[in-house]
């Protein structure tokens, strides 16, 4: 009996308390990051037109890096907020899952760029160029998170669900104390995949004129992706290589200091 009591005591503090605390910490960090990006955005206009590559400076390259990262962060936050209720809805009941899972599986198989011309035209009419880029990145990120979370929800043991029912942990209480901590490792895995997909899409998401009939570079967004495309088109190899280097450095820093650390940390909390 002593051994059993010790097991439950360890389980309570190392899982429901510790993991919940770290999960909330990540949410706080994301919120603070969003606020910093928002206020910084007040001083930098992401929709500024592309600059003459013959006059580009290191400061311009830094600004391009910021606005690209800003768009990716916005898209990720939107994808994360949308994917949680979607995953919960799909797995809510067997009948619902039987209908929705194949539907969303087909939907996620359609390349996000297939919707891009329609999306661009809608946002261009609203004169919201950045919205078009963010929305297409959001679509490319969304399904990585949704299906990772669905996989995580499937791993929650039945005895945990039964214990939640016995102790009347339902609604928001169950969501924040059991469900979200349980799928936290899968949120991190899905986030890593989502950001990788976002970096792939950003190169085309910032070059809007390709998707507008008779469009010109006026519609393109200033950022790392558009710099890469413009530098390649104009044969500006030094700017192209500098943009690639900055992107690789940023991706490496994010992976090493954020995603890899989180992946290593959450491994201990996965259900076997």
Over residues 235-251, mean pLDDT:
91
Structural domain 2-269, CATH architecture: Orthogonal Bundle (1.10)
What's the rounded Cα separation, in Å, for the pair 71 and 134? 6
pLDDT, averaged across the chain: 79
Residue 152 has pLDDT above 80, yes or no: yes
185/206 Cα distance (integer angstroms): 31
Q: How many CB atoms lie within 10 A of CB 199?
A: 20
Q: Which token pair is 123?
A: 């946002």
> Per-residue pLDDT tens for 29-82?
666 666 666 555 544 444 555 667 777 888 888 888 988 998 998 899 999 999
231, 239 Cβ separation under 8 angstroms: yes
Residue 267 has pLDDT above 50, yes or no: yes
CA separation, residue 121 to residues 46, 68, 163, 188 (Å)? 19, 21, 51, 33
pLDDT value of residue 6: 39
State in Å, rounded, how far the first CA of the chain is from the last one.
24
Q: How far apart are CA 269 and CA 272, in angstroms?
A: 9
Can you tell me which residue has the tokens 């209720």?
85
Helical H runs in the chain?
Answer: 2-11, 18-41, 58-90, 94-109, 116-125, 129-154, 158-166, 171-174, 180-205, 224-234, 237-254, 260-266
* Distance in angstroms (rounded) separating the CA atoms of residues 127 and 6: 61
Q: What are phi and psi of 175, to 5 degrees?
A: -60, -50
- Concatenating the DSSP letter of every residue in 213-242 gives TT--GGGPPPSHHHHHHHHHHHT-HHHHHH
Which has more pLDDT, 1 or 33? 33
d(C-alpha 88, C-alpha 179), whole Å: 9
Q: Kindly report, residue by residue over 11-21, the tens digit of the pLDDT.
A: 343 444 555 56
């Amino acid at each position: 009996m002593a051994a059993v009591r010790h097991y439950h005591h360890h389980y309570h503090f190392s899982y429901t308390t510790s993991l919940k605390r770290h999960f909330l910490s990540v949410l706080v960090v994301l919120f603070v990051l969003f606020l910093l990006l928002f206020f910084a955005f007040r001083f930098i206009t992401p929709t500024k037109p592309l600059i003459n590559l013959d006059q580009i400076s290191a400061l311009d390259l830094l600004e391009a890096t910021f606005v690209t990262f800003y768009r990716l962060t916005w898209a990720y936050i939107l994808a994360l907020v949308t994917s949680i209720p979607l995953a919960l809805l799909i797995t809510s009941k067997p009948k619902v899952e039987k209908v929705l899972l194949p539907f969303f599986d087909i939907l996620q198989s359609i390349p996000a760029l297939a919707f891009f011309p329609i999306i661009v035209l809608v946002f261009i009419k609203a004169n919201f160029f950045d919205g078009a880029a963010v929305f297409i990145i959001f679509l490319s990120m969304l399904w990585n998170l949704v299906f990772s979370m669905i996989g995580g929800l499937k791993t929650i043991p039945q005895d945990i669900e039964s214990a939640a029912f016995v102790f009347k942990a339902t609604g928001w209480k169950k969501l924040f104390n059991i469900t979200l901590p349980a799928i936290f490792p899968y949120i991190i895995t899905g986030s890593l995949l989502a950001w990788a997909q976002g970096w792939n899409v950003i190169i085309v998401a910032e070059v809007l004129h390709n998707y507008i009939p008779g469009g010109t570079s006026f519609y393109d967004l200033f950022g790392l992706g558009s710099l890469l495309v413009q530098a390649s088109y104009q044969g500006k190899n030094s700017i192209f290589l500098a943009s690639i280097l900055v992107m690789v450095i940023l991706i490496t820093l994010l992976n090493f200091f954020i995603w890899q650390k989180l992946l290593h940390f959450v491994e201990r909390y996965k259900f076997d």
